Amino acid sequence: MQEEKTDFKKELFSYIKIIVITVLVVLGCKQFLFAPIKVQGASMYPTYEDKDIIIVSKTSKIERFDQIVFKSPTEDEFYIKRVIGLPGDTVEMKDDILYVNGKAYEESYVNRETDDPNHLRITENFTLEALLGKATVPEDSYFVLGDNRLKSYDSRHYGFISKEAVYGESKLTVYPFKHFHIGRE
């Protein structure tokens, strides 16, 4: 009888150790490596839809056209947007064509659908200098835009995003809802 109690205690302790270690590993990964995030709003449509669940890598090197999650500079929320300008870049939009450092880029990810036939452009013309008073993206900052330009609150409205505000880079859509909370529209 004593042996059975000892065996039960050993087995119970073994299960508790496994559960504690698993919880610590999961929490450690979520804190330092990656995390699931639920998208809120339509500012990144068609890349992401409202309530899509994405996995964000907290260790990625951010590059142009990556989609990043960051702390909003204007409110206590996280937003997801596309990195258009890296530190030192010039950015200009002219006749719905994006120019970065003078090179034109096709933006196949941009939502070009509109219900308003009077909308001639999806993205208004701008230069960084005219929009934000700087000719280039400052060091340790990014210039970001939403893919749904007509419904996106982004760097055109609140300026550059500091590297410190970046939570991570979107790497994977885990659960897309096509017709499942980050940012506003």
87 burial (CB, 10 Å; 0-12 / 13-18 / 19+) is: middle
Give the position of tokens 């017709």. Answer: 179
95 burial (CB, 10 Å; 0-12 / 13-18 / 19+) is: exposed
Active-site choice (81, 152, 155, 170): 81
* 43 noted as active-site residue: yes
* 141 noted as active-site residue: no
The DSSP symbol for 150 reads G
> Whole-angstrom Cα distance, residue 35 to residue 21?
18
Active-site choice (10, 43, 60, 134): 43
Q: Give catalytic residues, as residue numbers.
A: 43, 81
